[in-house]
Amino acid sequence: MTDSDPVRRARDVLARFGVRSKVTVAGLRAIYEAPFKELKGIVKSTDTLVNISRALGKSDAYVHAYRLVLAVDDVERDGHTCVAMVDLRKRTSGILSVAAFDSGLAMAQRLDELLLEDDFVYKTSTWAQERSIVKEILRLARDFGPRGLERPKVARLLDAVHTDATMDDFGLTPQQSDAVRMVFGNPVSVLTGFAGTGKTTTVKCIKTIADRMGYVTRLAAPTGAAAKRIRELFDPCAACSGSGSSNGADTSCTCACTVHKLLDAAVDKSGRFMFRRHRGNPISAHLVVVDESSMLDLALTARLLLALPVGARIVFIGDPCQLPSVMAGKVLKDMAACLPHVALTQVMRQARDSDILAFAHRVRAGGLATGGTPVARDFSWEPLEDVGDIIQRVHELVEEWRGEDEDEDGSEGCSFQVLCPARRPGAHGLSTTDLNPLLQRTVNRANREAHHKTAAAAKRKPCRMVPGDRVMYTKNADGLLNGDTGHVTQVVWVPGKGRWDVEVQYEASLRWHDGADVNLDLAWAVTVHKSQGNQYDRVLLVMHPGHARLLSRELLYTAVTRAKSRLVMLAAERCVSACVATGVERFTRLGESLHACVSPLFFE
Ligand SMILES: [Zn+2]
């Protein structure tokens, strides 16, 4: 067999099965070696993948191995990081005999795809991330040095914060003071609190004390919007106040930023994120404060811990009732259960006046009173179920709010956000994909008509986006993060390419996109998942029984707590009850590992 044989064979087989993506010679060689691995993102049908593998001469054990890999992929899509072997056997009993399962599992381990630990089956990559988190926390704990040396100093500074007239908005509760002492006394700690329990005040106090101790503190959050919120709590850093900009774009800037920026993420040649901060080139900080940590997944947490210097402290802050990370796992909850942890439970005075927060706390506690809430000061619930009724009401409310916005400040545009559980259009006809074009027609009518007129005059199909549209980028690429939002500033026809290009003003940069880029969405309506890390003045939440599969307590709580001053919920009573009755359950073994290896070091 010559060198070119595998390439030719792979090309022939792909052609035979109608796989039409462009593949390089190196790609064909890789497909010949590992057809399942290389094609599983491209070929959707498992049967076709099996047939391609067989046509390329792969063994039965190889095919069984990848049936198991796909089954574990499903387990991860449900949020679990691993599965008990007996359960995996049950899940796959319809397609694999006992012998096929055993040979497949052995092969999957040889191929380094799956890993078996204590009768639990993991994807090797996921296991390695969990392992890395445990290992790095262990390292930080060992390197931390003797505890308690700074205790008197922190106590003095805490007293000063309490009595300092210039900081009278602090007025820490005993729980908040405990949190501050915990952060300075431990290499890794966790601070959790529900909405309105004063996490932000605690962060301010931690930063103030750290400054007075001469510490370099870096504040970060998983999304751009969440990072911006923290950035606005503090004066700009020296680099920013010198340049006059405070949007985190400057590389020497030490203002609050995304975790990706803190890790100095860059894109490598294959378009993948790489991090220039790691063990050999750590973040330069004495203290790292990560907010909105409920959104952190295993991979990013592992990378962050890996990039902390010797002797540093890190505190993970988050709301444990929000939706967990998009990827499998529940890092914040697992860490909270096994590491030094303070839970803020006391609802602050200002927050007690909010009906939005009162409702959020009822959702969280699972104790929803019967019937709809009467129209209250800042929260109302209209129990609509018919999609037509819901859409009509969305239009009415949006028109009303738009009018109010124009009265107040015509230049600022619309300060509301429509939230919906689903992105993909379903039979219900109520997804962000359905709602966005409708909202564009209402909210951005004049620009839409102008663009459509221009397009019609030139006999072209109009672009999905028109100037003034709110848009969201949904991929980590080109220096943008999944979830970054911006405004369309112009839409221009590019004759050479025969397409519309769209210019978008993001917070820190101005970008051009292909108007047909599938990663650029209209964002008048966004999913609850994508709204995490953001807060909006007014939120219009729509839910439908057709969303049943997506509804959970965490989803409703997250949606409700996005609203700052006004929340309207359009949802049938049975949708809301379904949310309240369903908690997100995820199985992981991170807590167990932390408990066994790390906890003794913290709690001796
Ligand atoms: Zn700065």
| 231 Cα: distance to centroid of ligand 1 (angstroms) | 8
Residue-level pLDDT at 169: 56
Q: In angstroms, what CA-CA distances link 370 with 385, 544, 578? A: 17, 19, 13
Q: How far is the CA of 582 from the centre of ligand 1 (A)?
A: 42
CA 339–ligand 1 middle distance (angstroms) = 31
The alpha carbon of 98 and the centre of ligand 1 are apart by a number of angstroms equal to 59
CA of 559 to the centre of ligand 1 (A): 30
Q: What confidence score (pLDDT) does residue 354 get?
A: 87
d(CA 460, CA 453): 10
* pLDDT score for 328: 94
CA distance 392 to 108: 53
Q: How much is the pLDDT for 411?
A: 42
HEC readout, 495-563: CCCCEEEEEEEECCCEEEEECCCCCEEECCEEEHHHHCCCCEEEEEEECCHHHHHHCCHHHHHHHHCCE
* 242 alpha carbon – ligand 1 mean position (Å): 9
- Within 10 Å of residue 532's Cβ, how many Cβ atoms? 25
pLDDT at 370: 46
Residues at Cβ < 5 Å from ligand 1 ion: 237, 240, 253, 255
Q: What are phi and psi of 540, to 5 degrees?
A: -115, 110
Residue 372 has what DSSP assignment?
Answer: P
The crossing angle, in degrees rounded to 10, of helices 199-212 and 151-163 is 120
Q: How many angstroms separate the alpha carbon of residue 208 from the centre of ligand 1?
A: 16
Whose tokens are 């609203």? That residue is 563
Which positions ≥6 away from 258 have C-beta within 8 Å?
Answer: 220, 221, 222, 223, 224, 227, 248, 481
Is 535 within 8 Å of 560 (Cβ atoms)?
Answer: no
Question: Interior CA angle at 429 toward 423 and 434, to 5°?
Answer: 55
The Cα–Cα gap between 321 and 335 comes to 15
What is the whole-number distance in angstroms between the Cα of residue 250 and the centre of ligand 1?
A: 7
Expressed in angstroms and rounded, the spacing between residue 54 Cα and the centre of ligand 1 is 56
Predicted confidence at residue 170, as pLDDT, reads 53
Nearest to 412 by CA among 427, 426, 401, 423: 401
CA distance readout (Å), 41 to 49, 70, 248, 272: 11, 11, 35, 16
Strand 510-514 vs strand 499-506: parallel, antiparallel, or unpaired?
A: antiparallel
Q: Using an 8 Å Cβ cutoff, are 383 and 573 in contact?
A: yes
Strand partners for 188: 314
> How far does the centroid of ligand 1 lie from the alpha carbon of residue 252, in Å?
7
Can you read off the two tokens belonging to residue 191? 């601070």
Give the Å distance between the CA of 257 and the centre of ligand 1. 9
Spell out the residues 6+ positions from residue 410 whose beta carbon is closer than 8 angstroms to its own: none
CA of 137 from ligand 1 middle (Å) equals 28
Instruction: Tell me, in angstroms, the distance from the centre of ligand 1 to residue 232's CA.
Output: 11
| CA of 461 relative to ligand 1 center, distance in Å | 43
Query: Residue 107 has what pLDDT?
Result: 97
Low-confidence ranges of the chain (pLDDT < 50): 1, 3, 165, 168, 370-372, 375, 409-412
Which segments of 81-166 are extended strands (E)? 82-84, 114-117, 120-123
Distance between Cα 118 and ligand 1 center (Å):
47
The Å distance, Cα 246 to ligand 1 centre, comes to 6
Distance from the alpha carbon of residue 229 to the mean position of ligand 1, in angstroms: 14
